[in-house]
A and B are shown apart, each in its own frame.
Chain A
């Protein structure tokens, strides 16, 4: 099926990004019940799920062209959003192969890959890209393999080297992050880059998660959802750009909350890579305004109830303190107290 792209929408300045009714219905809504409950919530990343966002291992939607342009703008302003330590070259090629294979198989009308030994021919019709290159020879691409394919993907990518019974964030391309920095985390090990997360360390969550990931198997990826809230449909909420977006959080009123407060959901996926034994972490970001969300009454009712039960540490960590009450008040007008159905799928 050909996706109707919306190439002109923006994630900055005039913020013309909007979700179509179809895009709203495929949103990966993260809350399965009416109270907030912390869970590691890792499950096999198999095709199919509560909405169409789970239909493929790497999801492409109507925002693809606009989001790739946004990534290019961020990289032009700050090239350090894409970095790879020298020992990660094999993992970069593994990543390029995995993404090209999946995109060309799942979206043949937009992408194609023809392989003749190591001579590869990649076509990205959505972005108008055609490239002949030699797999394994970085000199035959316009930039390193991770950046090359990362510029053609929705969502951020990080690559973790596995050694010393630990994972090290030794490469990544990160332009649409929820307030963390690749430049800061590069080279860190698992517990170090998770350092700022409240509550979970004490519960042993990261010990268990690391043990699980060290044995992640080839061909058996896993996923989880993470979420926060963002003012305006802004992809780049990085620490580097804090002066641009931090003050927005003080501007929310009962009148503008519906259009400006967005639920931000990350569909995070983890893949064992074959040649490098590294792990690819995909962070696919979805934005939806409260107004858009409220077109699915189950979701606005539930978000209202979840926000009320969020522990104070998490309100602070997720950066919601300045506008949570206003958002709750906006949602309260749309919560008639009716029961909600089990699961995350729209009614």
Chain B
């Protein structure tokens, strides 16, 4: 399936919410309502970068009750490959961008008897949407937000204002204070656990839950891996008959797109599996960075997720 048609949007408002996070309010250029969405959905923002087109996924923070605008929040990444820096430095009210229609890879489970949501840093963005949906329902929920300090906790404070009894804020000065083990220990059977935040936090929460015997079906997390930089490598695209070089700062998917070849994608973060591509020939090693393929599939070396994965190779031929 080729990529979805994008929606032209204009930036209505830019709001610095913490020293590192800016919130952007987007509206359709033609003034029509944006597509309805479910809590946990993200869009991919297409940015006209100076050297090339940048595409990053960002979670939608609001609800479908008001579809005149979408809200996203972008944390400036110290290791930005261009996307978050562009959003922070080049985007202002009136700027024109494009977005893909919403996709939800982090939905609430509709059969849960209780929801437990843990988030850290900018991982609060999908949880913002979840909480705004949950306050209108009758299923109990509990939210724990981690932040470095109070000046980094603006979005968490806003959530606390919406659901004062459900939201707890944990400030990490001088060190982490969210006691995941005891939070999990207090949950009744039937609780679904959701976690979004830095990679280390997700791993810790999921490992703690598994060790405590939580069933896999009740564990949910969202982690968009930013495509890591690496050594340049050459790729042959057999179907389109092209030979391309993937530069250090560009992902394989971006290099394929830059060569004018349409490739499928949804999350651009190694999570959804949509961009899975067959490896026809390989002399070297695939550097898998996705969380989609199983360990066995990665070891087989016959497929790759080009949105985040790379190769250290003399030859790589892809069915694309």
Contact = CB atoms under 8 A, between A and B. Distances in A.
Chain B contact patch, size range: 20 to 34
Given A215-B266, A217-B266, A218-B103, A274 B37 contact: yes
B160 interface: no
Contacts, number: 53
Contacts of B36: 94, 274-275
A275 B273 contact: no
Interface string B12-38: 000000000000000000000001111
B217 A274 contact: no
A161 interface: yes
A217 B107 CA distance: 14
A224 B107 CA distance: 27
B219 to A, nearest CB: 11
Interface in A71-91: 87-88, 90
A220 B37 contact: no
Given A215-B272, A217-B4, A217-B103, A164 B217 contact: yes
Nearest to B218: A164
Contacts of B38: 90, 274-277
Given A215-B274, A217-B4, A275-B37, A162 B111 contact: no
A274 B101 CA distance: 10
Contacts of A275: 36-38, 64
Interface in A37-83: none
Contact of A220 (B1, B107, B273): B1
Interface in B205-239: 217
Given A87-B110, A211-B273, A218 B35 contact: yes
B109 interface: yes
Nearest to B41: A277
A87 B111 contact: yes
B184 to A, nearest CB: 20
Interface string B31-59: 00001111001000000000000000000
Nearest to A93: B36
Contacts of A215: 1, 103, 266, 272-274
Contacts of A90: 38
Contacts of B107: 162-163, 277
Nearest to B267: A215
Contacts of A88: 110
Contacts of A211: 273
Given A215-B274, A217-B101, A217-B103, A163 B64 contact: no
Nearest to A211: B273
B138 to A, nearest CB: 11
Nearest to A89: B110
Nearest to A118: B65
B9 to A, nearest CB: 15
B104 interface: yes
B111 A220 contact: no
A217 B42 CA distance: 12
A195 interface: no
A274 B62 CA distance: 14
Contact of A218 (B1, B102, B111, B273): B102
B277 to A, nearest CB: 14
A247 interface: no
Interface in B265-320: 266, 272-274
Interface in A211-241: 211, 215, 217-220
A218 B110 contact: no
Nearest to B103: A217
Interface string B247-266: 00000000000000000001
Contacts of B266: 215, 217
B35 A220 contact: no
Contacts of B1: 215, 217, 220
A275 B102 CA distance: 10
Contact of B4 (A162, A164, A219, A276): A219
Contacts of B103: 215, 217-218
Interface string B100-130: 0111100101110000000000000000000
Contacts of B109: 163
Contact of B110 (A94, A163, A217, A220): A163
B216 to A, nearest CB: 9
Contacts of B4: 217-220
Contact of A277 (B101, B104, B272, B273): B104
Given A215-B274, A218-B102, 20 more contacts: A87-B110, A87-B111, A163-B109, A163-B111, A211-B273, A215-B266, A215-B273, A217-B101, A218-B37, A219-B101, A220-B1, A220-B4, A274-B35, A274-B36, A274-B37, A274-B102, A275-B36, A275-B38, A277-B38, A277-B41
8 smallest beta-carbon distances between A and B, as pairs: A274-B36, A87-B110, A277-B38, A218-B101, A277-B104, A277-B107, A164-B217, A215-B274
10 contacts: A87-B110, A87-B111, A163-B111, A163-B217, A218-B4, A219-B4, A274-B37, A275-B64, A276-B38, A277-B104
